[in-house]
Structure formats: structure tokens, C-alpha cells
Amino acid sequence: MSQQQLEWVVGRNPFAQSTMWGEGYDYAPLYTAMSGDIVGSLPVGIQTHGDADVPYWPAENCHNWKEVWVFQVARWFGLMRDMTGPALIEGQAEYAVELRETRSGRISHAQVNGSSSRFRAFVPEGNYVVSSGAQRRNLTMLPGGSYSVDLRPGRAVDFTLSQQAAADGTVTLSAKVEGNGAHTITLRADGAEFANAERRVELKSGALQTLTWTGKAQPSKVPWVVVVYPDGDLSQRKEASGPAR
């Protein structure tokens, strides 16, 4: 949807004409009192024809709708960052951090500050395996997103979540957990009830542990939703959901 909005601005619209001067298809002059034509400028808005709620873009260069404004350009920059900007990952680790994008195989590295054990890096969007020594995390990083991980020994934890639902409303969730050290895995649900929502696990590097919850979806007009997260950190949450009963 965001990409289609940008395309609309530069020519994929009912006028077959870009509203940004200097970019796109068949752009027209915009109204500037003193500055002249400015590449990348955008107009205040789109005219309508009388009282009709229909986009209208007449040829005349009138300040009512073709005057250059800064707000639209600022929003364009903000949307471009959300769509194409790098993701920020930061955190703590004992050794140098490797970031491997699983689809392309591209590998990036982040150096760890020796005194603070902190690292920071910008990477393109993608699905990554982030590792430091024997510790690792799987992360999906989106454009413009910020992500925090702790890859110190005894702190790192990662898991995958799967679900099964029966016709009678019984829901079974399975979390395959890996990492190192003692951790607490918490489940929170809306529209379903589960016993033993909080579990304590002792992990060893290279060994998976599977946690299973069995619950019941409640009769409702809205879907049930479950969130599972480690050590009280909602930024590491995984979600599951199902249809209303």
C-alpha cells in the first residue's frame, strides 16, 4: 500500500501525470512565488471539481492546489525511510557479531566495544541469523526498524512457535527453545485459556528444548490471540492466532 501511494504521486494516478516536479511522468510546473522550479517539490494537494469528491488536476498553475509545500515532501521522506531505510540492530555480546542474511547468504559484521560489551550496526531488511561465539538469534528485520539483542553467554535465547487447533476449540502450542542459561518463557492469551502460562527452562548450547501448552479457545465473535516471550522482553515475542468460534 505504501509503494502504491508513492507510485500515485509520481504518475500512477487518474491524470497520468506526476505531481512531483522533476520526477516521474509528464510533471507540470508548480506554483512558487520566488524560488522557481524545485526538483522534488510537491504541491499542497489535489483539486476537486466543484463539490464532487473526485481528484481534479487542471492545467493552470494556481496556488490553491499547485503551491509548493514542505509538509508533503517531509512525509515523502518519512515514507521512503520506512520502506527502504536500513534496520538498526544493537545490543551486547562478548565476541564479534556476525549477521548472515538467510536468503542471499550476505554476511555483515559488527565490532563489540571492549569496555561496554555493546555493538551497533545498520543492515538492509531481511531474515538474519545473528551470532556471537556459540550464541545466536534468528531475527526478521524490517526497513527503519530498531532491534535489540543480548548475545552474552547465559543471556541469549531464541525460539520458534507452532500451533495446532482442533474442531472442538482445543489449541496446542509448541515452542522450540534454544540458547544458554536459565530463562523464563511466558505465555499471554486473549480469547483462549492455557494452564501453566509461565515456564522456567535451563538451556545448554546446541540443545533444543520443546515446551507445550494445551488450552481452549473461548466462544467469541473475535479471533483468539496468543503472545509468547522470553524473560519479560516483549520485543522478542512470537504470536499465534486462530479464528473466532
The Cβ-side half-sphere exposure at 89, using a 13 Å CA radius, reads: 31
The predicted pLDDT at position 123 comes to 95
| CATH number for the domain whose boundaries are 87-151 | 2.60.40.3390
Alpha-carbon distance 78 to 135, whole Å?
Answer: 35
Q: Copy the grid coordinates of residue 106.
A: 550476505
Please tell me the predicted confidence (pLDDT) of residue 162: 95
Report pLDDT for 145. Answer: 87
CA nearest neighbour of 132 among 165, 103, 156:
156
Residue with cell 520485543: 235
Q: State the DSSP H helix or E strand holding residue 172, giving kind and residue range, or none if neither.
A: strand 170-179
Contact of 238 with 161, CB cutoff 8 Å: yes
Q: 211: which residues sit within 8 A by CB, 6+ positions away? A: 174, 175, 177, 185, 199, 201
Residue 149: predicted pLDDT: 92
* CATH fold for domain 157-242: Immunoglobulin-like (2.60.40)
Identical fold between 87-151 and 157-242: yes
Q: What is the pLDDT of residue 211?
A: 96
Strand 55-56 to strand 47-48: parallel, antiparallel, or no bridges (unpaired)? antiparallel
Torsion, Cα 216 218 222 223, to 10 degrees, reads 0
Give CA–CA dist 10/112, Å, rounded.
Answer: 43
Domain layout of the chain by residue ranges: 2-84, 87-151, 157-242
pLDDT per residue of the chain (245 residues) written in tens, 0 to 9: 888 989 999 999 988 999 999 998 899 899 998 888 999 999 998 888 888 888 888 888 888 889 999 999 999 998 888 888 899 999 999 999 999 999 999 999 999 998 899 999 999 999 999 999 888 899 999 888 899 999 998 888 999 999 999 989 899 999 999 988 899 999 999 999 998 899 999 998 888 999 999 999 988 888 999 999 999 988 889 999 998 87
DSSP annotation of 38 reads: -
Q: Which pLDDT belongs to residue 49?
A: 83
Indicate the pTM of the whole model.
Answer: 0.65
